[in-house]
Amino acid sequence: MATLAPGPPVQIFKSTNEEKTLSFDQEEILRLKKEKNAILLCHNYQIDAIQQISDYVGDSLGLARQAAETDAEIIVFCGVHFMAETAKILNPGKTVLLPDMEAGCSLSDSCPAEKLALYREKNPDIYVVAYVNCSAEVKALSDVICTSGNAVQIVNRVPEDREILFVPDQNLGQWVMGQTNRKMNLWPGSCYAHVLFTQESVERCRLEYPNAPVVAHPECMDSVRDLADEVCSTEKMVSFCRDNPSETFIILTETGMMHRLNRELPDKSFVAGPTGHCACNDCRFMKMN
Rounded distance between C-alpha atoms, residue 54 and residue 75, angstroms: 11
Cα 59 from Cα 151, distance rounded (Å)? 13
Residue 191: alpha-carbon gap to chain centroid: 9
What is the per-residue pLDDT for 16?
Answer: 62
Query: Which of 138, 156, 188 is where one domain is finished?
Result: 188
What are the pLDDT tens digits along the chain (289 aa)?
455 555 555 666 676 666 677 887 899 999 999 999 999 999 998 888 899 999 999 988 788 889 999 999 999 988 888 888 888 898 899 999 887 766 656 777 889 999 999 999 999 999 999 998 898 999 999 999 998 889 999 999 999 999 999 999 999 999 999 999 999 999 999 987 888 899 999 999 999 999 999 999 999 999 999 999 999 999 999 999 999 999 999 999 988 899 999 999 999 999 999 876 654 566 555 554 5
Please give the pLDDT value at position 288: 45
Whole-angstrom distance, CA of residue 273 vs CA of residue 279: 7
User: Is residue 123, in this structure, part of any structural domain at all?
Assistant: yes
How would you label 274-287 residue by residue, b for 16+ Cβ within 10 Å and e otherwise?
bbeeebbbebebbb
CA dihedral 79, 62, 190, 129 (to 10 degrees): -130
Strand partners for 129: 144, 166
Dmax (CA) for the chain in angstroms is 62
Is the same domain home to 160 and 224?
A: no
Partner residues linked to 250 by β-bridges: 214, 271
Q: Indicate the residue among 123, 156, 188 that finishes a domain.
A: 188
How confident is the model at residue 274, as a pLDDT? 83
CB 228 within 8 Å of CB 222? no
* pLDDT score, position 101: 66
Q: What is the dihedral of CA 3, 281, 171, 87, to 10 degrees?
A: 170
Indicate whether 97 and 117 sit together in one domain: no
Q: Residue 119 is inside which H or E element, if any?
A: helix 113-122
Q: What is the CATH number of the domain that holds 178?
A: 3.40.50.10800
- What is the total count of domains within the chain? 3
Yes or no: say if 45 and 256 are a contact pair by the CB < 8 Å rule: yes
Domain end among 132, 167, 188:
188
Same domain, 61 and 117: no
Q: Print the domain residue range for 100.
A: 24-104
Same domain flag for 180 and 135: yes
Claim to verify: residue 277 and residue 197 sit in the same structural domain:
yes
Q: Where are the beta strands (DSSP E) in the chain?
A: 11-14, 38-43, 56-58, 74-78, 95-97, 127-131, 144-146, 164-167, 185-186, 214-216, 230-231, 248-252, 269-272
Note whether residue 18 is domain-resident.
no
